[in-house]
Every structure is written in structure tokens, then in C-alpha cells.
Amino acid sequence: MIGGDLTEKALRRHLEGLPGVDAVGLEARAASLATRSIKTTSKQWALDAIIRMIDLTTLEGADTPGKVESLCAKALTPDPADLTTPRVAAVCVYGDMVPHAVEALGEDSGINVAAVATAFPSGRSSRTIKLADTRDAVAAGASEIDMVIDRGAFLAGHYGLVFDEIVAVKEACMRPDGSYAHLKVILETGELNTYDNVRRASWLAILAGADFIKTSTGKVSPAATLPVTLLMLQVVRDWHTLTGERIGVKPAGGIRASKDAIRYLVTVAETVGEEWLQPDLFRFGASSLLNDVLMQRQKMNTGRYSGPDYVTVD
């Protein structure tokens, strides 16, 4: 089904022809970046930036409209004691909870509603169901779709099948007015086994039309890691160099402390540049990270800040 100038053979040749990842070098680079902090003269800027980049998430079988409404209230007013606290980037829910999130957030909140789709988290269903899942969420008002790739097909080498599915889901993101919900493609890097596979999957997703590439569902261990995110950022950097197009990156799962989130900000700035330090190009998929950031922000405002020092990155 691959169309245009891209054939299955060409796709395979490109993905399998990518240079192998230097795992030792990648992990050493990530470890080096983790020892530094973000280039800024404002400690509060970093904490506020993290809040603005959070996709506040609830993805449990026990989710109820009431729970989603409470999550939206937190998204709108993260710290009722400090109304200068910025709002998060998005609320991320299952598709059937989208109408409740849309209603709770109201119009003009500036907060996106993201829906997981395509048989999240396993991706194990027919394409017909996956596309219906996506269309239903978009019709209900989701402005972003977080889809999962078919990891089984990818690991079996069926790259064309995975490519075509992403293309089809992208088309299913189209609204009646011709605009599109943003598409985040979840690679589930914890199941891809190797850095080489992460690089191939990142390239594949971008070639198929992803607006964002995302590490994980948060349901598989390991979820987001700094080396994997660094590798995905390198792919995004190389794509931008080739095409001028900016693709977003979203690490998700396991990022719970502000000090860890700051390491990701440093990695972004040092790999793709500070222009990526905005919600349109970098997100955190998190449920508990916001609580720690708010605590550190409160401590800093009261003179009892216990977070890391912020030093200039050379």
C-alpha cells in the first residue's frame, strides 16, 4: 500500500541502511548531559516550562467522568494557592472520556485534549477498529491523537505494514473542515529491544507523517529513559537538517521528579536547540510529575527550595 515515490523495498533499504547506534557513546552522552542543568538565569523558568509541557494523564480501566473532570480542574488551576502557575499542555485520556474532558475544560482554555487510540496500549486489533477508534475521538473533540504502532509487525520486519497504518491513522485524524488533529506516534521503546530498532522506528514514524514521536505507553517497563529520548531527539534533529520540518518528541512514563525532567530539558536544548523547549515540540507524558514540580516551585517561592542548582550549559 505504500504510495508515491516510496516503495516497500525502498523503505526497508533506508531503515536497514541506517548506521548502527553506538550504545556506549549514546549512554555516555546521556550521562554527561544528566550532570548539567539548563541554560537559564531563572530557576522558576525551568519549573514553569516543565508544567507547560506536561500532558496530564489518566489511563486506567477505572477512569470515570468524575475522575477526568477532577484532572481537568487540576490542569486548569494546577496550584490554587498561586494563580500565576501556568497551565499544562494537554489532558490525555481514553477516547470515551474525551467528551467529558472537552466539556470540563471549556472553550479557550488553551489546554489540548489528547486521546489514546488504535487499541492502546497493545495495538492488537484490526485496522478497521483502530481507524474507527481514532475517528470517534477526533469527532468527540480530541485535538491530539496518541496512537501505538504494531510492535509485533515492526519486530517481524513488516515495515510497510506499520508505515501504512500510521498513514491511515493520520488520515483518520482529519476533521470535517480539512484540518487535522495532531498525531503522536508511540513507539513503545521498551518492547523494541535495541537502540537500532528505536532509531528505525523513529524514522519510520516521521516518514509516515507523525507530528510527534513518543517513547512509551507508560504500561511497559522500561518506559522513557534519557538515552532513548536522546536518540529520538537526534533523529528529529537529522530530519530537521534534511527537510526543515520540526517534529516533536514526547518521553512518557517513569518521569516523576522535577530534577529528572530538568535533565530532559537540558538534553533537548543541547541536541535540537532551545527552540524545541516549547509545548508544540516537546512534552512530558506524566501523571505524578506535576505534583513534584509544584512542590519545588512552592519551596522556591518561600525560600525553601530543595531542587538542583541551575548552572549555565556551555
In a domain, 276, yes or no: yes
DSSP-derived secondary structure for 188-231: -GGGT-SHHHHHHHHHHHHHHT-SEEE---SSSSS---HHHHHH
DSSP type of residue 275: G
Q: Which domain holds residue 139?
A: 8-301
In a domain, 1, yes or no: no
In a domain, 306, yes or no: no
Strand partners, 146: 116, 184
What is the domain count for the chain?
A: 1
- In terms of Cα–Cα distance, which of 119, 114, 76 is closest to 92? 114
Contact 301, 82 (CB under 8 A): yes
Q: Angle at which helices 43-52 and 289-301 pack, to 10 degrees? A: 150
Q: What's 128's domain CATH number?
A: 3.20.20.70
Radius of gyration of the chain (CA): 19
Maximum distance among all Cα pairs of the chain, rounded to whole angstroms:
61
Using CA atoms, how far residue 264 sits from 50, 142, 151, 221, in Å, is: 10, 27, 25, 19
250 an active-site residue? yes
Which residue among 55, 211, 214, 292 is the active-site one? 214
146 an active-site residue? yes
In a domain, 28, yes or no: yes
Q: Which three cell numbers stand for residue 81?
A: 494557592
Cα separation, 146 vs 143, in Å, equals 10
214 an active-site residue? yes
Which residue among 55, 79, 133, 146 is the active-site one? 146
Residues in the chain: 314
In a domain, 3, yes or no: no
In a domain, 116, yes or no: yes
Helix, strand, coil percentages for the chain (3-state, nearest 5): 50, 10, 40
Which pLDDT tens digits describe the chain residue by residue (314 residues)? 566 567 888 999 999 999 999 999 999 999 999 998 655 456 788 999 999 999 999 999 999 999 999 999 999 999 999 999 999 999 999 999 999 999 999 999 999 999 999 999 999 999 999 999 999 999 999 999 999 999 999 999 999 999 999 999 999 999 999 999 999 999 999 999 999 999 999 999 999 999 999 999 999 999 999 999 999 999 999 999 999 999 999 999 999 999 999 999 999 999 999 999 999 999 999 889 999 999 999 988 887 645 445 433 33
Cis before 308? omega within 30: no
Q: Angle at which helices 258-271 and 43-52 pack, to 10 degrees? A: 90
In a domain, 308, yes or no: no
In a domain, 18, yes or no: yes
Q: Angle at which helices 195-208 and 8-16 pack, to 10 degrees? A: 140
Q: What pTM was computed for the model?
A: 0.93
Alpha carbon 160 to its chain's center? 23
